[in-house]
Structure 1
Amino acid sequence: MDSSCFLVYRIFRFRKRNKNISSSLSSSSPPSSLSQNWLHPVFLSFRGEDVRKGLLSHIQKEFQRNGITPFIDNEMKRGGSIGPELLQAIRGSKIAIILLSRNYGSSKWCLDELVEIMKCREELGQTVMTVFYDVDPSDVRKQKGDFGKVFKKTCVGRPEEMVQRWKQALTSAANILGEDSRNWENEADMIIKISKDVSDVLSFTPSKDFDEFVGIEAHTTEITSLLQLDLEEVRMIGIWGPAGIGKTTISRVLYNKLFHQFQLGAIIDNIKVRYPRPCHDEYSAKLQLQKELLSQMINQKDMVVPHLGVAQERLKDKKVLLVLDDVDGLVQLDAMAKDVQWFGLGSRIIVVTQDLKLLKAHGIKYIYKVDFPTSDEALEIFCMYAFGEKSPKVGFEQIARTVTTLAGKLPLGLRVMGSYLRRMSKQEWAKSIPRLRTSLDDDIESVLKFSYNSLAEQEKDLFLHITCFFRRERIETLEVFLAKKSVDMRQGLQILADKSLLSLNLGNIEMHNLLVQLGLDIVRKQSIHKPGKRQFLVDTEDICEVLTDDTGTRTLIGIDLELSGVIEGVINISERAFERMCNLQFLRFHHPYGDRCHDILYLPQGLSHISRKLRLLHWERYPLTCLPPKFNPEFLVKINMRDSMLEKLWDGNEPIRNLKWMDLSFCVNLKELPDFSTATNLQELRLINCLSLVELPSSIGNATNLLELDLIDCSSLVKLPSSIGNLTNLKKLFLNRCSSLVKLPSSFGNVTSLKELNLSGCSSLLEIPSSIGNIVNLKKVYADGCSSLVQLPSSIGNNTNLKELHLLNCSSLMECPSSMLNLTRLEDLNLSGCLSLVKLPSIGNVINLQSLYLSDCSSLMELPFTIENATNLDTLYLDGCSNLLELPSSIWNITNLQSLYLNGCSSLKELPSLVENAINLQSLSLMKCSSLVELPSSIWRISNLSYLDVSNCSSLLELNLVSHPVVPDSLILDAGDCESLVQRLDCFFQNPKIVLNFANCFKLNQEARDLIIQTSACRNAILPGEKVPAYFTYRATGDSLTVKLNQKYLLQSLRFKACLLLVEGQNKWPNWGMNLVTSREPDGHIVLYTPSSHLQGPLLMENLYTFEFELVVTSSEFVLEFRADRYKCALGRFDKFGVHVVWCHLDQYESKSPLVSFVGVASPFGGIFL
């Protein structure tokens, strides 16, 4: 910040060193299952005599078929208690399955296993599954029935503590919802279900494992809201976005979070790769897809799918969660999720794709678009792969952001680039960046190219045109350039957008950096070693080679060279460089916007030929005075030759009927424009700073569709042709600083569509034609600096749609026509600097006027009484109207008036009374009104007044504050340097935002000073004084104060009021900051305090600076230190310093306990705070 006031709150930290703190963690802290390294997938606890030959063997066989190897304690010798090896096996298993059979409770070994399993469930987060085999779960829970009889026998003679552990473990296990064999008709189906549940748990990745995926929570939350899991309906949703944006990751995280809420679940991934389209046998492909679906859904590898109705038969009564990832064809969807009726109630199907049109074609209504991460999120993603953490290493901050920009915030690109650069030095990074700019990583390309390969030839061609040439254009512009290339260009754009290959945003075409790079790579590979045989050239080196060696061919249709990319020297283009490029349609040699660098392209032998098929010719700083003699602009749509050496475009009257845009700005030698007789489609003509241009050709009148004509800074232009009146569609005319222009033609009034006219800086302009009144659509007229303009035509009153009229610094303008009162829609009128203006016409019906600028109208003596009719006026500037004697009393009837500026109105002696009628007045500035003696007392009744400036009003005696007990809330009052002010204040400041400046008001009486000092609500003030008042109980000489605090009141919020007296200062700085700097301790805490900007000015001696600040006190002793500085440059020092407590926040306060004591540097003070 430029200037501010800082309070440094220095903490002296009193640390206790506890040497007895244990370095080890408490063993009672349970480790998280999320970080557990499991030794075994499954531990089986069972009673062998009940299940070994039947249930157990069948479970083992199913587990083996699905690649699950459980731990079974068959080989262990059983003793009195389970040994360390078995304990390790139990604790090291991710899942424990308890097969609770009739005789399970007869084994002390089984019961001890159970106790340990339930302990692991509690402490390690182990997943526990129960199977009740021919036993009632209630009998297990309550230890009754046959199960209870067996258990009670085991308990005989056992310690009570052991028995209670067994009972608690059995009860807890029975409370776990498990499989009851009595509820299954087929035991084999139950075993398949158990195996599926185990597989799901083993494949489940806890959500915390996805913490490294930046922003994942926001995505899953949004998609979950689309899923509406509380509804019983079957719902199908789509996740849509470009390749590499993270759709697959998001869908996997979502599946892992939700799958446990469903009976069955599956993710079928990479569908478009494994089942590409088109295929020769569509039916077989569908069968294969369905087989994949069912195999994963019911966990059966050798699934037989004889017909396409199997999926519906098997899943119609099951609540399933199905994710179909990377779908690119309706055939795939028809095979796996043709209809919601295929699935049971509550099912959710998530289709992940790049193709929006596919989702809509399948009737999916709920679609989530995955947007690119923010810049900060993209940096975090990149850093996770480059550095293994979410922020760059020290010294890599800027280069990391550069690489992130190259990746275009695409997560796939960020991951690949981050992984590539990991563990490289900064120098290696710098060497790698040029390659990353120009080539696409193979992994990225293989992902992105799938969508491109699925396009028809016409869409592929459109994609390449956009990536190589038109990615920055608007849709309608592209439509013009490619009118002959595509029958329905907009349909092609929509296809590309649906496949996430580009986006259409408010009429603009936007394409991701990596997709652009994909297109460039595709073109480059058309002819790697002979660039002249490609469709497009965009690489600087390739273009230089083709232009200098004359190796272009008829294949080339576009060249785009950014001249700032030419690093070494210049390019000498061959005279016949374009001769063989007979199909060249788009040529662009350009600098970055606004870059006016030196010449780079040269044609030492001239230029013999350029393609007649050119539709775009953009050649900045063209080095010749004319285009080739045989150039035919017949197909030309846009020509931009800014900053060129042109004296004329071409010889002869060539047809330009297709031309829409022409820009010859800054062609300072341009003397002649082409014949516009055939330019019936021309919409924009820019001729900025064409210093040699004297006139426009009369044929300009044939450009009847011209919308914008820009002649800014054409300083030699003397006149406009009368044919300009034919431009009936012209909407904007810019003639700024056409300093030789004397007048406009009378036909100008025929330009009836004109909305904006800018004549600013036309210093020779003598008059505006009366025909201007015919331009009924005119909304903006700017004639600032037309110093020769004496009057406006009375017909200006006919421009009833005019909203803005600027006549700033029209120094010869003496009056405005009375017809201006008819400008009922006028909102902004600026007459500032019209030095000859004596009076204003009646405001009359200008009821919509919002801003009126009359600053420095030094001849203006009065305002019209009818100004009150401008009921919507909110801002009025009269600064510098030195001859203004009075304001009309009606001015206060403008109830919408918010800001009134009268600075420097040195003849103004008083303000009209009844100021309180201006109920919305917020800002009133009267600075340097040297004749003003007093303010009307009613001014203090304006409740919205927030700023009043009467500074340097040398004759001001009274503010008339005596009879007003309460001043407006949040008032900023600046009365600095009012040397005559003798003021008594009988008022109350109730708002803490009030700011008062009475600097150098040495006649201000003592009562007023005391009131300001002692009012706790007045937090910022300057007033005259030579010593710190006694009100500040704790005072010190010098610039620091030590505060000792009772530790009982630590972490409480305290508000202090400070008073500073400057003993030495420098007045050369207009703005200053009060840096309350840190004391000498290295571990201090800094609290920043900034006073109101209205108190900032040159530092003043013999004045008191008061302000408040609040601290949350965290230490029993701290030092307050003060020093005035600016940009760390000392401006002065304080001689005296005082502090008083005005407020504290304590839950309980005991007056017997001393809260704080203050010790001054030179004069110690002590005492009880409060």
Structure 2
Amino acid sequence: MDSSEKNYHVFVSFRGTDVRNNFLRDLYAALKQEGIYTFVDSEELRKGEQISPALMRAIEESRVTIIIFSEDYASSPWCLDELAKIMECKAQKELIVLPVFYKVEPREVRRGRKGYGIAMTKHEKDPEKDQKSVETWKKVLFEAGSLSGWACNDGDEAEVIQSIVKELLIHLERTPLHVAEYPVGIDSRVEKIISLSQKKLDDDDTLMIGIWGSGGVGKTTIAKAIYNAIESQFQGAIFLERVRETSNKCGGLVELQKRLLSQILPPKHLAVYSVAEGASLIKERLCCKKVLLILDDVDHSCQLDTLAGGGNWFGKGSRIFVTTRDKRLVVSSHCLNCVYPVKTLEDDDALALFVWHAFQNSEKSGIRKDLINRAVHYASGLPLALEVLGSFLRGRNEPAWESELRKLSKSPDKDINQVLKISFDGLENDQKEIFLDIACFFKGQSIEYIKKVLDGCGFETTIGIEILFERSLIRKEHGTLQMHDLVQLMGQNIVYQECPHDPGKRSRLWLFEDVQDILCEDMATNAVRAIVLDLPAPKVRAVNPEEISICPDAFGNMKMLRMLIFIEVHISLQGPVYLPNNLRWLEWPNALFLECGFGSKKLVGLDIQKSHIRHLTQTQCKSLVSVPDLSSFPNLESLNLDGCKSLVEVQLECHKNLKFLSLQFCSNLSKFPHTLKATSLQALNLFGCSKLEKFSNIPEKMEHLEELDLGWTAIKELPASIENLVSVKIIILRKCKRLAMLPSSVYKLQNLEHLNLGGCSNFVKFPENLEDSSNFNGNLGFRNLYRLDLYDCNLSEVKFIENSFSFPKLERLDLSGNKLTHLLTSIYTYDLFIPKCKQLRKIHRLLPMCMCYEHMV
């Protein structure tokens, strides 16, 4: 069975009378807390002596099995049948088996000694037992008893459980990759490539196979399916995606080397500071490991040399698969042992894939067959084109199909770019703008960040992104937005075609040379809407090592500029730079001599972190960075001044539209507003403002603030008016070493979910809820608090947690490193952490669930 089809992470085999109410209960809770989906059989529901088909399927559908060998395990025929099935799956399906020897010795299990010997003798003498089954039981007991596992005796259960969870997380990190919603035509190709890898050389040899084909033909999809099919056969496996794109960034090859090492050698995270050092580490640490490495989208031999050493850096039996669209790499490379050319889909598969995307579960009766065939014909068997075109036509009526296909038929060059562009042409204007911004600037960025920036530019980004997703123009991956290279190139080409020979007349600029030209030579026009420039790639900087020089009037002709972002770009200024009035989003770290247009009322986002600003007030800012009166920017919503080490004062009491204010590591900031009235503020971050001793009074309710980070500040107390943060969900006070206690009004923060006081070494007492619990009406106390961190404080008693009414939803309580001598708690938590509490001698718990504790003397 493909690992992607496994229904359970873990199957646990056990004898209930021995472990159900102690070790198994605690192990199950620990696994659940880590999100590990575990199958635990209910013995009381069993009927008869034969193992049920449902239980057989559960074993087959699990990725890992834990066998808890306890004193009475072998007396149960049911357990022994489970064990036989488990060992069969280990041999045939490569099931991972991890034994726990609970108060028994491994040799008792292997050799049939003590209780195991007595149990097996009884089975042999039982006339109703099949003797072949008994012999099978003896054999699997010997095999399983010989496996490496854990010995668990009195007093070390918590340690064993933590070790099991840690080991499981390592195994389960190798989760199946998402291949495709409808992987038509994939299986047969995967089988051919795997067969090629097995026939070409002996199993003990290392083999590098190239998977070559045009863009959009499905190379990455095939490679992911190969990974899922065979990764369990290797000691380490990794799928390195977007090798070309990543390696072209500054430090990209080093980043890829780090990912390779950290995934194959978990949980070690080796420091890599250069490509040469990374290459040496890979060769040294992985030379004896049987590794599966997939390098996706390679376009240069140096990528093969620095990530795989030509294939000879890994242990015997290793397999390296390389996807590429560069035929020259395939022909000239001395590393590749063989090459598999990926062709377009056959007609039947192409039709099936198109129909799935165009109709999915709806009926096709409204669309003529000849129109469907024409659409498939235009896509030329390319999976990407079939997906995008099918998604675009989905839900449209027959006249709309005829109209769009007529456009394609009139194109003199019906390549994939034209097929993709028809989907773009069908977007509304705002959706086109969002798509082009993502294609030119934001591919791979977090969805949260993209929404924040583009919302600030006046777009309806949420619905726009959903439409682009439905049209298969973008995809969501781990909280980021990605798009196929060909879709991105199509978008960038649309911008390029606005004026091929003059970048100053294009709407968007993102290439180093283009930005340098128009800013140095004042070539820009009103056509320019957005400029986003990241640190140039190494090969670009080799040609242009000098800084970008910007003249004061460089932006004078860009009256429609809405977005300006410079990230890690070395810029020299000839004097104050005047920015246009239409600007809505500005990110310019280390900015000097900066003037925003005084008439601008549109600025929504301002990020000038690491600049030399000294005062941020409601009046003129006195600094090298001359930011006008912030009241001139009534629409300002996001302000980032992280790392402004010269900043000493902030006054923003009355800025009503500000939603996000970040002042991290402003190490000289000592003056913050005495009162805080920023009624729209949603997040305030003062982490690392080490000279800030006092936090603001909050005279009225703040309905929107959800996150407050005061970690690593010098504050000594919070005001009683903290209760006016009625919507706050997260308060971070970590490492506030002068903070001694909290006001009791903190209990009125009914929406608080996470409170972190870890490392507050002077914190001696948590306030008690002064309300009488007998009169508790559900309106006081931490109704939604699920996590409370009090590690490494100076608490000697914790009476506050005796009142379970104050903490009805608490799941995690960390009291590590405190001076507790006894602990009485009736709070139901999945995680109670109390290691390093060296003076703790007595613990009384009124509810049974207590995990991750350390054994006490």
TM-score (norm 1): 0.37
Q: Whose Rg is larger?
A: 1
Structure with more helix by fraction: 2
RCO comparison, higher one (Cα < 8 Å, 6+): 1
TM-score (norm 2): 0.49
